[in-house]
């Protein structure tokens, strides 16, 4: 099951839209209401919302906690910069934000370009594949945790 976690529960408007707009999503939970440890993985999509995440200590802590508990983390586009520059995950290598290739480093899967529509229409594959974000992220999730982070001492370098 997938859940949307946001700064608050309920409707969240898309950037530049008002309350009458149909461009909104419904957050199932908020950062303080459901800890990241309750979920198997965390995915941060690209978009204007990343600027707001970068200003939220709660959001940063949420991702760091997931990292510290060896959870799979995925990010696309500008969300890569959020992980790299704001969350500051030690030892992790990230894909370039303009690349369509996929990079996995310590259970963190990143790609510059990710089209959700094509992912939703294609078959779901769970396999190691540096060209298919969904297949690679699904593979990393299927491993349950990335214990290499702990073995290499990365989890102790992140405050959460």
DSSP one-letter code for 122: S
Q: Is 19 within a domain? A: no
pLDDT at 19 exceeding the cut of 70: no
Q: Is residue 16 part of a domain?
A: no
Bridge-based pairing of strands 108-111 and 72-76 is parallel
User: Is residue 16 left, alpha or beta, with left meaning phi > 0 and alpha meaning psi from -120 to 50?
Assistant: left
Asked if 51 and 15 touch (Cβ cutoff 8 Å), the reply is no
In a domain, 18, yes or no: no
Number of domains, the chain: 1
38 within 8 A of 7, measured Cβ to Cβ: no
Let me know if residue 110 belongs to a domain.
Answer: yes
Q: Grade residue 16 by pLDDT with cuts at 50, 70 and 90.
A: low
Residue 130 lies inside a defined structural domain of this protein: yes
Q: What percent of the chain has pLDDT over 70?
A: 89
Domain that holds residue 83: 5-11+25-157
Span 106-130, average pLDDT: 81
Q: Give 52's contacts (C-beta < 8 A, 6+ positions apart).
A: 7, 59
77-96 burial, b if ≥16 CB within 10 A, otherwise e?
bbbbbbbbebbebeebebbe
Place of tokens 């990079």: 103
Structural domain includes residue 139? yes
Cα separation of 30 and 36, whole Å? 10
Q: For position 99, which CATH number holds?
A: 3.40.50.880
pTM of the predicted model, to two decimals?
0.89
- The yes-or-no verdict on residue 26 having pLDDT over 90 is no
CB–CB of 63/86 below 8 Å?
Answer: no
Q: Is residue 17 part of a domain?
A: no
- pLDDT greater than 90 at residue 82: yes
Task: Tell me the pLDDT band of 147, cut-offs 50, 70 and 90.
Answer: very high
| % of the chain beyond a pLDDT of 90 | 60
State the DSSP H helix or E strand holding residue 109, giving kind and residue range, or none if neither. Answer: strand 108-111
User: Looking at the domain assignment, is residue 145 inside a domain?
Assistant: yes
Tens-digit pLDDT profile for residues 39-65: 999 999 998 889 999 999 999 999 999
């Amino acid at each position: 099951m997938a859940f949307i976690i946001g700064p608050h529960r309920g409707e969240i408007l898309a950037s530049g839209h008002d309350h009458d707009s149909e461009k909104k999503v419904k957050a199932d939970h908020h950062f303080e209401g459901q800890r990241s440890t309750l979920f198997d993985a965390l995915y941060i999509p690209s978009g204007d919302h990343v600027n707001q995440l970068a200003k939220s200590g709660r959001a940063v802590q949420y991702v760091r906690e997931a990292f510290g508990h060896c959870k799979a983390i995925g990010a696309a586009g500008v969300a890569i910069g959020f992980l790299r520059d704001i969350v500051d995950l030690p030892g992790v290598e990230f894909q370039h934000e303009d690349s369509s290739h996929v990079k996995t480093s310590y259970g963190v899967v990143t790609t510059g370009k990710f089209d959700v529509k094509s992912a939703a229409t294609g078959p779901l594959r769970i396999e190691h594949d540096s060209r298919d974000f969904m297949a690679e992220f699904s593979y990393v999730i299927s491993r349950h945790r990335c214990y290499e982070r702990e073995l290499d001492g990365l989890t102790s370098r992140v405050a959460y």
